[in-house]
Amino acid sequence: MRDQDRQTIREELDHLRKNGARRQELSLHACKRLFFDFEIKPSMAAVRDLTQTGSASDIPKDIELFWQRIRTTSKARVGAGAIPPALEERAGELLGALFEEALTFAGDTLQAERAKFEAGRLVAEQAARDAEGRRAAVEEMLQRSEARIEAAYARVRELESQLAAASAQEALAHGNREVQLQRLETENESLRNRVESEQTINSGLRDRIDGLHEEMRKSTEHYAQQIKDAVAEAERRVKPMLVELDSLRSMSSTWQAAQRDAGKKEFDFIQQLATAKARADRLDSLLRERSDEVDALTRQVTALRNQQGLDASVAAVLFSLAESGRLNEAELARLGTVADGHVALPARCPNCHEGEPELSKVDNGFEFTCPECEYTSGTGTSKLEAYARFMAGKHSHEQA
């Protein structure tokens, strides 16, 4: 999940917190956003990172409540019939799953066909752009040909001017007049032939442009027809799936009728199912007991590791002195983290007497906070120092 999305969810949770939402509502909102919007399975670490509240025992309860609501919402019921409620519920779940699977398959198939037709449409558009480029090139050639024709006409006019000038000098050049006149007429005829040839080429180019336009129109119509046929084919493929769904519903009705005629077998099956369920419940209860024992042993091992070999009686004396405020800052600093393994969370906040305090690690220190009144101990270098500061609020309250 991107940092931008994580920040957006935190802003939503802050808005809910300002509107009076409690910890459970914040955790459920974080689970919904993670599961439905980002397809991430909610975990204690992810929910705690977003909500910034809740203990290690409360957040798993909130996540379990979220899954319970999902399971309750996703269940479907089959029409009334003489079948057990458990089987009726399972049949409804099966039909709902089949229907969702059919819709998903049809949507995927239609999406694939659309992608294929989109690729065809892009090919057609590329062909149209290529034809347009060729047409532009032909028009450019036509413009150059017309420019050459204009130049030829200018040359003809120039030659005619020269011919007129030559006629004016006829008296001065009797001997060369006929030769020059014949040469000019020959050149003029050649230029006229070149003009006619350029015009013929231009006519051919115009016909080619018209042909390209017609080819582009036919290609567009062809690909449009292909897209239309593809959409019809997709609809044709979806219809059999709907017919199959109707067939499954008919099979369900037939199955219900058969169940009404097999009451004794149904009773035996229910007995077996109840026996199996009771056995599964016993195994589940045994598994939970063993899991609780393992968790308790794990917590004991962790506590023993954190106690760092400090005698419990000495730690109790230090804890009592810190709680009563009889240790100053210098003494707490000298003790360091030697007694942190024996520091426990207070049952109630000394400020509001309602909230359950929480312990968090901030940078290189520790901090006790109350989620109800937001009373805090400030950052301490050790748990014992943070606890002494947190309980100092109790003494100031008693003195007042």
Does one domain contain both 116 and 186? yes
Residues forming beta bridges with residue 276, ordered by sequence position: none
| CA atoms within 13 A of residue 306's CA, in its CB half-sphere | 17
What pLDDT score does 80 carry? 44
Does one domain contain both 122 and 244? yes
For the chain, state the CA radius of gyration: 45
| CA atoms within 13 A of residue 149's CA, in its CB half-sphere | 15
Does one domain contain both 250 and 282? no
Per the structure, the count of domains in the chain is: 4
What pLDDT score does 77 carry? 46
245, 95 in Cβ contact below 8 A? no
342, 310 in Cβ contact below 8 A? yes
Instruction: Provide the residue count of the chain.
Output: 400
What pLDDT score does 397 carry? 40
Give the pLDDT confidence of 129-174 residue by residue, as tens digits: 888 888 888 888 888 878 888 888 888 888 888 887 877 776 666 6
Q: Give the whole-angstrom CA distance, residue 127 versus residue 245.
A: 43
Query: Quick check: is 79 in a domain?
Result: no
Query: Quick check: is 167 in a domain?
Result: yes
Which of 21, 41, 74 is where one domain is finished?
A: 74
Give the domain CATH number at 184: 1.10.287
Does one domain contain both 158 and 286? no
Residue 92 neighbours by CB under 8 Å, 6+ apart: 75, 76, 77, 78
Tokens representing 315 are 């730690």
Tokens representing 108 are 């995927």
Give the pLDDT confidence of 167-207 residue by residue, as tens digits: 777 666 666 667 777 887 888 788 888 878 888 887 887 88
What pLDDT score does 400 carry? 36
Does one domain contain both 92 and 217? yes
Q: Give the whole-angstrom CA distance, residue 84 versus residue 274.
A: 12
Instruction: Report the candidate in 372, 371, 373, 366 with the shortest Cα–Cα distance to residue 387.
Output: 366
Indicate the angle between helix axes 3-18 and 23-32, nearest 10 degrees.
Answer: 150
Residues forming beta bridges with residue 365, ordered by sequence position: 362
Q: Tell me, what DSSP letter sits at residue 80?
A: S
Output the furthest CA–CA distance in the chain (Å, rounded). 145
Q: Give the whole-angstrom CA distance, residue 295 versus residue 284.
A: 16
Does one domain contain both 221 and 282? no
Which of 218, 238, 256 is where one domain is finished?
A: 256
Query: Quick check: is 80 in a domain?
Result: no
Q: Give the whole-angstrom CA distance, residue 83 versus residue 260.
A: 7
Does one domain contain both 42 and 158? no
Which of 236, 256, 276 is where one domain is finished?
A: 256
Query: Quick check: is 375 in a domain?
Result: yes
From the first residue on, what is the mean pLDDT of each consecutive set of 10 residues in the chain (400 residues)? 82 88 88 83 86 84 86 56 60 67 76 84 86 86 85 84 77 68 81 82 80 78 76 74 75 76 72 78 79 68 51 68 71 68 76 82 81 82 78 50
Q: Which domain holds residue 21?
A: 1-74
Does one domain contain both 70 and 90? no
Does one domain contain both 195 and 138? yes
365, 381 in Cβ contact below 8 A? yes
Q: Give the whole-angstrom CA distance, residue 163 versus residue 81.
A: 113
Query: Quick check: is 285 in a domain?
Result: yes
